[in-house]
Amino acid sequence: MSSSSSGSSATRSSEGRRALTTAGSFGGSRLTEMSRRTERVNELLREEISGLLRSDLRDPRIGGIVTVTHVDVSPDLRHALAYVSVLGTDDERASTLKALDHARPFLRRELSRRLTLRYTPDVAFLSDTSMAEAQEMTDLMRKTAEERGETL
């Protein structure tokens, strides 16, 4: 009996290693598959929200040039953060974010009509100031170059 249990143990051990190896590679491909899916959903949401802002959303509080720079969707695809860049004054940026927050139910309803997802994510909007900061950095570099007598 002890020989069969030791043989069984060795088999179990080697099967366990094989199962671990298989599970590890499957888990890795599943993670990759899920991250590809979330990236595709992120891009799809960015395009659709941009289209809705450009063509369907009519709110006088939206000022300046509005660009959806990036969307991050949660792993369960029920919530999303849309990063919005507003080229304009600080007042225009604030009023645009208020208008977008007010339009969230409308945007979600329109997204549910346009997309074939099991759950339509609830989208929250955040200000993305990276474009404005890049413009300030470029202006600073130009000013410094002019002071040195160089051109950019």
Report residue 52 as tokens: 């809705």
| The predicted structure's pLDDT at residue 95 | 94
Q: What is the mean pLDDT of residues 100-107?
A: 95
CA distance 10 to 85: 61
- Crossing angle between the packed helical segments 90-102 and 104-114, to the nearest 10 degrees: 60
CA distance 150 to 11: 74
Q: How far is CA 100 from the centre of its chain?
A: 17
The pLDDT-based confidence of 90 (bands split at 50, 70, 90) is: confident
**Averaged confidence pLDDT in the chain:** 80
Please determine, for residue 13, whether its predicted confidence score (pLDDT) is greater than 60: no
The pLDDT-based confidence of 5 (bands split at 50, 70, 90) is: very low
User: Which of the pair, 80 or 7, is modelled with greater confidence?
Assistant: 80
* Count of all residues that appear for the chain in the document: 152
Domains of the chain and CATH, by start: 2-148 (3.30.300.20)
Helices (H) and strands (E) in the chain, counts: 4, 3
DSSP 70: E
Q: How far is CA 73 from the centre of its chain?
A: 5
Q: What is the mean pLDDT of residues 50-65?
A: 89
| The predicted structure's pLDDT at residue 35 | 86
Please determine, for residue 10, whether its predicted confidence score (pLDDT) is greater than 90: no
Q: What is the mean pLDDT of residues 14-18?
A: 38
